[in-house]
Amino acid sequence: MKHKLLQTIKQTLLFSSFILISSCGLKSIPSEYTFVKTNFEKVDLDKLGNGKVLVYNGADIMHKIDNTSRLNIWIDDKPLGQLRASEYVIIDLKNGKYKFKALHLDMVNMRSTDEVEITEITKVIKIKPNLTSNKLTVTNELPKNFEKFKYAENRK
């Protein structure tokens, strides 16, 4: 009798854990941007800039583990789409100021808004979910483990 009760408790905890972890999955949004096709085999900083901007999700291991690393991103209220951990896109942006909105789900919606000025020298933008919001940084350099990143699909 006691064994059956323990088995039921284990199954309930396992099921609850699965529901909790999968509940943090953020539904993707379709992009209204045309992603720049990378005709070159390796992304090179020298080929970026002058309007070609690489945007990547710099989520750390803590957000990858619990599936809260997915970021839905809008630029001037136009959806860029969803970037998962270690994904990037390259888009064309004219010089000017843009409002980047980012959203990730970590039990509740974590939103952030950042204004970014794009110039001819802007090459790389890192957006990273954190505990209370999201952090955007114009780094103009590729992450250290960039060979492990992949180009994001345009999800519908």
Q: What structural domains does the chain harbor?
A: 2-151 (2.60.40)
Pairing of the two strands 52-57 and 124-129: parallel
Residues of the chain above pLDDT 90, percent: 53
If pLDDT is split at 50, 70 and 90, which confidence band does 76 have? Answer: very high
Element (H, E) at 56: strand 52-57
Beta bridge partners of 19: none
Reduced to 3 states (helix: H, G, I; strand: E, B; else coil), residue 11 is helix
Tokens of 145: 């483990």
Give this prediction's pTM: 0.79
What is the H or E stretch that residue 10 is in? helix 2-22
Instruction: Give the pLDDT of residue 16.
Output: 59
3 state SS of 92? strand
**Quick one: pLDDT at residue 60?**
86
